[in-house]
């Protein structure tokens, strides 16, 4: 996938994207001032996962754009480069050696699904790891288990990165379903009833960070 420009301020957030089975290096943009962690997904028409809240949580226009990327098999994550000790991008961009070192450090902090030998995303998240992420975002173990079951295809365990992306996409295409509302409620950390771009990315990044490569069959 194409990359956006790298921010010149070491305190800016880093946004990375990987799509169509390929992970791409971190790209940046000061789209929001907070650093985070995140990830998630489901089917286009997932089964009910938890009781729907009396007031439905909605996606902001920017968050809807991220959900649309999920439907295209694009994983988006965010992280902070604060504390990495990186110089400003403008000070290294004209020096190939310094630029290479800059990107090596930056890429070491990129959150992305594991990939196989062909470069295709094959990350998986276990039910236990999924429960931990949901509980970090204020959800219960019961909610996590119901949502995990709704996101899986054919009762799959663990969930694949593709299944997580399908769940994220469904928050836009089937936002009133119980599983979508469960995801959206987890994302809506400030409780204002609308999921911002940063809130969407924060949950997606956390789930992607919890993914592991599948165990070898040998």
Which pLDDT belongs to residue 53?
46
Residue 135 in any domain: the answer is yes
Q: Is residue 132 part of a domain?
A: yes
6 part of a folded domain = no
What is the spatial distance between Cα 149 and Cα 143, in angstroms, rounded to a whole number?
10
Supply the pLDDT for residue 14: 46
Question: Helix axis angle, 61-71 relative to 197-209, nearest 10°?
Answer: 40
User: Can you give the pLDDT at residue 116?
Assistant: 76
Q: Which has the closest alpha carbon to 28: 14, 18, 38?
A: 14
Count how many residues are written for the chain: 218
Q: Which residues contact 180 (CB under 8 A, 6 or more apart)?
A: 42, 46, 167, 170, 171, 174
Residues 151 and 182: beta-carbon distance below 8 Å: no
Domain of residue 92 covers 13-209
Cβ–Cβ < 8 Å for 60, 186: no
pLDDT one digit per residue (tens) for the chain, 218 residues:
322 233 334 444 445 555 554 433 333 332 232 333 333 333 333 444 444 444 899 999 999 999 999 999 888 888 777 777 888 888 888 998 888 888 787 766 777 777 777 878 788 999 999 999 999 999 999 999 999 999 987 666 899 999 999 999 999 999 999 999 999 999 999 999 999 999 999 999 999 999 998 876 44
pLDDT of residue 78: 81
The verdict on residue 218 lying in a domain is no
C-alpha pair distances (Å), 69 with each of 65, 96, 182, 189, 201? 6, 32, 20, 22, 12
CB 120 within 8 A of CB 186: no
Number of domains in the chain: 1
* Torsion sign (Cα): 70, 72, 74, 78: negative
Q: Is the residue at 121 inside a domain?
A: yes
**In this structure, is residue 4 part of a structural domain?**
no
Model pTM above 0.85: no
Is 145 inside any structural domain?
Answer: yes
Q: How many CA atoms lie within 13 A of 176 on its CB side?
A: 0
Residue 3 lies in a domain: no
What is the rounded radius of gyration, in angstroms, for the C-alpha atoms of the chain? 17
Q: What's the pLDDT at 211?
A: 93
């Amino acid at each position: 996938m194409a990359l956006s420009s790298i921010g010149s301020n070491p305190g800016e957030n880093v946004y990375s994207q990987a799509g169509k089975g390929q992970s791409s290096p971190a790209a940046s943009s000061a789209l929001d001032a907070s650093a985070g962690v995140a990830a998630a997904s489901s089917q286009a028409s997932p089964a009910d996962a938890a009781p729907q809240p009396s007031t439905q949580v909605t996606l902001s226009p920017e968050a809807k754009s991220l959900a649309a990327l999920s439907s295209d098999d694009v994983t988006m994550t965010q992280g902070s480069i604060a504390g990495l000790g990186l110089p400003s991008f403008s000070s290294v961009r004209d020096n190939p050696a310094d630029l290479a070192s800059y990107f090596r450090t930056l890429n070491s902090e990129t959150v992305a699904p594991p990939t196989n030998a062909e470069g295709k995303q094959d990350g998986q998240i276990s039910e236990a790891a999924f429960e931990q992420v949901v509980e970090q975002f204020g959800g219960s173990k019961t909610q996590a288990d119901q949502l995990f079951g709704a996101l899986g295809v054919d009762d799959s365990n663990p969930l694949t990165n593709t299944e997580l992306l399908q769940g994220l996409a469904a928050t836009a295409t089937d936002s009133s379903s119980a599983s979508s509302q469960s995801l959206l409620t987890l994302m809506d950390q400030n409780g204002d009833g609308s999921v911002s771009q940063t809130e969407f990315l924060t949950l997606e990044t956390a789930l992607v960070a919890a993914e592991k490569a599948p165990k070898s069959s040998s």
